[in-house]
Amino acid sequence: MIYKDLSDEKLVKLAIDNDREAFAEIMRRWERKIFALCFGMLGREDDAGDAAQEAFIAAYRNLKNFRGEAKISSWLHRIAVNQCLTIKRRQRTRSEDHLDDNSDAESRVFVASPAYSPGRITEQDERLRLVRQAVGALPVELRQVVVMKEFEEMTFQEISETLELPLSTVKSRLYTALKQLKMRLERTPIEVV
Amino acid sequence: MNRKEYTSGPCPNSDTVVSYLYDELTIDAKLKFEDHLADCSYCIDEFAAVSMSRFEVFDWQLVEFADMPTPAFYIPHETDRLADLWNSVVNWISMTKGPVAAFASVVLILLTGSTIYIMRNDGQSTASIVTGQARLSDDAIPTNHSSAEPVAIASAVSLKPSSTGIKPSAHHEPSTSTLSGESASLKRKDQIYRRRTNTPNVPDPDSVAVQNSKARSLRLIEENEESDESLRISDLLVEADPNN
């Protein structure tokens, strides 16, 4: 059976029937997005990896409770967010705010694992090409905010002062840019080898 | 799922979402957002969407730009003088646009060309083209000089050959004005000789006016040779007298 061609609903049904390959396909489809969500919440690669790992384990264990009322993506997002919040609460109780960690800059470096297969590397190249195109297609006023935030690591206040724009305008422009990027990236699905 | 009121309050706006994404919320605002996020599937999906986009850009930036070596930049502080001169001329022309710049450019080019031409023509001599030196040479020339002085003048000039075209010469050739003076003197002497030897002179020897004029001229010349100018004036008075 070719799992790659099956829909999310079919895969969930197969996974509920203890088809491990079906659940592996679900993981493969959503692992990057779940990891990105966790990274957005936690800001550290290792914490995000742990949260995503815990989220998939929790999803596998609670697969039978998935009623199919929501999309599988929303269900996985909720599980991942709950895992991230759990990790954050745990960090707070330990008074380990990651902002005070000097190794933060190093830990934020995310590169493809050496264990990645050649197919994954090709997929990554393709993804980078798409992101490059998507960012390049953004309007200038949106793109400059993305570049200043992601490439120059400026704060919203600094961007606001640099561009002489209200703070709320800078934030809304970045939000709009990220939403447009998501739409453009979803419009051109990545060919997986 | 639509946006709606939850137990944790209304859904936060986009400013709060991106501020949380980039960790720029205060601790209180962060806790409030997380409380809401645990309860609101709509906000979870919204946050997941912007997180994904942000992560893709972040990943792309890391892979394509983080390890990219910064190129070495070079600022050429020192250039050769010729290039500096040319650049300054070009800059000046570009700053003072219009006919003034064009005229100045033409003058500059002509000056440069003539200087090069003169230097090539005078290449064998060590002549200076400095105007001040040429003036010094000119100063050595007396304003009122007699015909006996040219050799000294020529030697003075030859000490400093200048760009004025005066060339050193062993033999001085008298000027045109000197020649005309000498020929006039010879002519007058010839007339005196002719008068004394009764040699017939040029036009109408029978004319009384001409004879009188010749006589006066002869007398004047003789008196002039004795350098007595007062007599010359009296002769003029005599000439004006109709009875004479």
**Is the per-residue pLDDT at A133 higher than 90?**
no
Same domain, B119 and B187: no
Question: In chain B, which residues have their Cβ closer than 8 Å to the Cβ of A151?
Answer: 61, 65
Structure tokens at B198: 């009764």
Pick B67 or B38 by higher pLDDT: B38
Q: What is the pLDDT of residue A96?
A: 52
Q: What is the pLDDT of residue A104?
A: 45
Question: Is there a contact between A35 and B55 if contact means CB atoms under 8 Å apart?
Answer: yes
- Which CATH number is A139's domain given? 1.10.10.10
The last residue of one of the domains, among A97, A129, A162, is A97
**ipTM field:** 0.72
Give the model confidence (pLDDT) of B46-84 as tens digits.
Answer: 999 999 999 888 888 888 776 667 667 767 666 667 777
Domain count, chain A: 2
pLDDT band at B239 (very low <50, low <70, confident <90, very high): low
- Which CATH number is A24's domain given? 1.10.1740.10
The last residue of one of the domains, among A97, A125, A143, is A97
Q: What is the pLDDT of residue B17?
A: 92
Q: What is the pLDDT of residue B47?
A: 92
pTM over 0.90: no
Question: In chain A, which residues have their Cβ closer than 8 Å to the Cβ of B6?
Answer: none
Same domain, B113 and B88: yes
In a domain, A162, yes or no: yes
Q: What is the pLDDT of residue B19?
A: 93
Structure tokens at A47: 């914490």
Enclosing domain of residue A167: 116-193
Give the model confidence (pLDDT) of A152-165 as tens digits.
Answer: 788 999 989 888 89
Same domain, A10 and A52: yes
In a domain, A84, yes or no: yes
Q: Is A61 exposed, middle or buried (0-12, 13-18, 19+ CB in 10 A)?
A: exposed
**Is the per-residue pLDDT at B193 higher than 60?**
yes
Instruction: Among B43, B51, B64, B67, pick the best mutation site for testing chain A contact (most A Cβ within 10 A).
Output: B51
The last residue of one of the domains, among A97, A130, A147, is A97
Same domain, A8 and A92: yes
Question: In chain A, which residues have their Cβ closer than 8 Å to the Cβ of B41?
Answer: 70, 74, 77-78
Question: Is there a contact between B22 and A37 if contact means CB atoms under 8 Å apart?
Answer: no
In a domain, B76, yes or no: no
Q: What element of type H or E holds B18? A: helix B14-21
Domain count, chain B: 3
Same domain, A147 and A190: yes
Same domain, A78 and A145: no
**Chain A stretch 12-31, residues whose beta carbon is closer than 8 A to a beta carbon of chain B:** none
Contact A172/B47 with Cβ under 8 angstroms?
no
Enclosing domain of residue B147: 81-159
Question: In chain A, which residues have their Cβ closer than 8 Å to the Cβ of B18?
Answer: 156, 171, 174-175, 178
**Chain A stretch 120-149, residues whose beta carbon is closer than 8 A to a beta carbon of chain B:** 124, 127-128, 131-132, 135, 146, 149
SS3 A65: helix
**Within A97-166, where are the H helices?**
104-107, 118-136, 140-146, 156-163
